[in-house]
Amino acid sequence: MHRASEPSFRESVDLMFARAVKLMDLPPGMEEKIRVCNSTYTVRFGVKLRGAIHTFTGYRAVHSEHMEPVKGGIRYATSVNQDEVEALAALMTYKCALVDAPYGGSKGGLCIDPRQWDEDEMERITRRFAYELIKRDLIDPAQNVPAPDMGTGEREMAWMADQYQRMHTTDINGRACVTGKPVNAGGIQGRTEATGRGIQYALQEFFRNPGDVKAAGLSGTLDDKAVILQGLGNVGYHAALFLSTEDGARIVCVIERDGAVSNPDGLDIDALRAHIVETGGVKGFAGGAYTEDGSAQLEADCDILVPAALEGVIHMGNAANVKAPLIIEAANGPVTAGADEILRDKGCVIIPDMYANAGGVTVSYFEWVKNLSHIRFGRMQRRQEETRHQLIVDELERISSDASINWTLSDGFKDKYLRGAGELELVRSGLDDTMRGAYNDMAEVWRTRDDVPDLRTAAYLVSIGKVAASYKAKGL
């Protein structure tokens, strides 16, 4: 997607990094130590499929080992390449630091079109790729913990975890070798929705800060805001679903591979998703008007633009035409460094990827902790919490039964109050807390420092500061 005149994805990340470090006072050499990617492993392996040997190319880049294990997803796409994997690994370092997930940054990728292969073939390819990485400790609960990314999901994570366990039969913590597993194979409730849920929590926190909302030229709350979303994959779907059904936002346009579908009253996201699953695209969806030129819709009028697909979709060629006053980067790297500058000059506020889409790795962290502690969150406390709540409800009911006091409990209070938090409620609570905290750490720098022009620079300042402190503490 990047134009010849623009830097590559990795260079784009480095440029944004460089802009931030200029504003910092780092010890000599620290800037370079943090910026460079520590190592990238490339593997080419063969799998016998359909009567022939097929050779696949895969990568696992480790950007920073200031904390271990290192963490980051594995992407399956034909466009995967070393530059992209290294850019994404760097973003993982900064992302984990910003949300206090105790990891270094890593990322993996396999050059493959998953739609070309059936499930059994995908399993063989995935197990073989996992074997290559496990052999070199590039999948390991203590050293390197992959997760889903574009083109991968629970299914692939379950195969990888099983492959690890076959090769390390006595490792009691083996399940913690990857996150994003199905709940019945050591996963955690709320991981699949986590990145989309994080987008929602990020926007909610943004709109809790009227000064920040004003800086974007907006006012009010999320209610009735017009949203254009690009990419109705796992992240985009959950973000759009929660924003429209829980916060009152109108998803006025969804851009997909085959075009865009618009409805000024708001699209029915579940119906649209079902249509895409059935037909492979948005064309023909009855609940909105179809246009073939999807990317033109990135430039349409709206309050909030949510690029939730690939990197580099807002570039120097279209940034000047983007009208959205607020962009939240659900994808990694959707705005190039050149476009970032154009948009900033126009006054557009960008909630940057390393913060906005950190919900995924945050809940991955909870899953990893669950795997290492071998117990589901809430298992010990839930009923005890309910028993204590019951005491209060009994007492309130006793008081309200006194005829001389004209007082009753509100409808629904008892049921809501009595229910102790299960794993899903706890995961959402931990995620919400993380997104609120990280937003304010980042926004505070933006609000208080005149030399920090935007949230992205502020996010880099916070995260680079944390990585630098960690290297310093280690005595490096």
Interface with ligand GLU by CB under 6 A: which residues?
Answer: 71-73, 147, 149, 179, 332, 357, 360-361, 364
The H or E element that residue 240 is part of is helix 234-246
- With the CA atoms of 99, 103, 104 and 105 taken in that order, what torsion angle do they form, in degrees rounded to the nearest 10? -60
Q: Please, are residues 107 and 73 in contact by the beta-carbon 8 Å criterion? A: yes
Catalytic residue among 71, 95, 107, 225: 107
107 noted as active-site residue? yes
Q: Smaller CB distance to ligand GLU: residue 72 or 104?
A: 72
Q: Minimum CB separation from ligand GLU for residue 209, in Å?
A: 24
Q: Smaller CB distance to ligand GLU: residue 72 or 334?
A: 72
Q: Minimum CB separation from ligand GLU for residue 360, in Å?
A: 4
Q: Minimum CB separation from ligand GLU for residue 147, in Å?
A: 3
Q: Smaller CB distance to ligand GLU: residue 179 or 336?
A: 179
Q: Identify which of 246, 237, 247, 301 has the alpha carbon closest to the alpha carbon of residue 271.
A: 237
The H or E element that residue 109 is part of is strand 104-111
What's the rounded Cα separation, in Å, for the pair 172 and 48? 32
- With the CA atoms of 415, 416, 422 and 426 taken in that order, what torsion angle do they form, in degrees rounded to the nearest 10? -170
What's the rounded Cα separation, in Å, for the pair 193 and 190? 6
Q: Smaller CB distance to ligand GLU: residue 232 or 452?
A: 232
Q: Smaller CB distance to ligand GLU: residue 90 or 260?
A: 90
Q: Smaller CB distance to ligand GLU: residue 196 or 360?
A: 360
Q: Identify which of 72, 150, 165 has the alpha carbon closest to the alpha carbon of residue 110.
A: 150
Phi-psi region of 425 (alpha: psi -120 to 50; beta: other; left: phi over 0): alpha
Q: Smaller CB distance to ligand GLU: residue 37 or 348?
A: 37
Q: Minimum CB separation from ligand GLU for residue 353, in Å?
A: 9
What's the rounded Cα separation, in Å, for the pair 422 and 321? 46
Q: Minimum CB separation from ligand GLU for residue 179, in Å?
A: 5
Q: Minimum CB separation from ligand GLU for residue 15, in Å?
A: 20
Q: Please, are residues 119 and 127 in contact by the beta-carbon 8 Å criterion? A: no
By beta-carbon distance, which residue lies closest to ligand GLU?
73
Q: Minimum CB separation from ligand GLU for residue 343, in Å?
A: 22
Q: Identify which of 50, 48, 73, 51 has the alpha carbon closest to the alpha carbon of residue 128.
A: 48
Report residue 14: phi and psi, to 5°: -65, -35
| Secondary structure class of 314 (helix, strand, coil) | strand
Q: Output the DSSP codes for 126-146.
A: HHHHHHHHHHTTSSBTTTEEE
Q: Please, are residues 202 and 440 in contact by the beta-carbon 8 Å criterion? A: no
Q: Any idea which residues carry the catalytic annotation?
A: 107
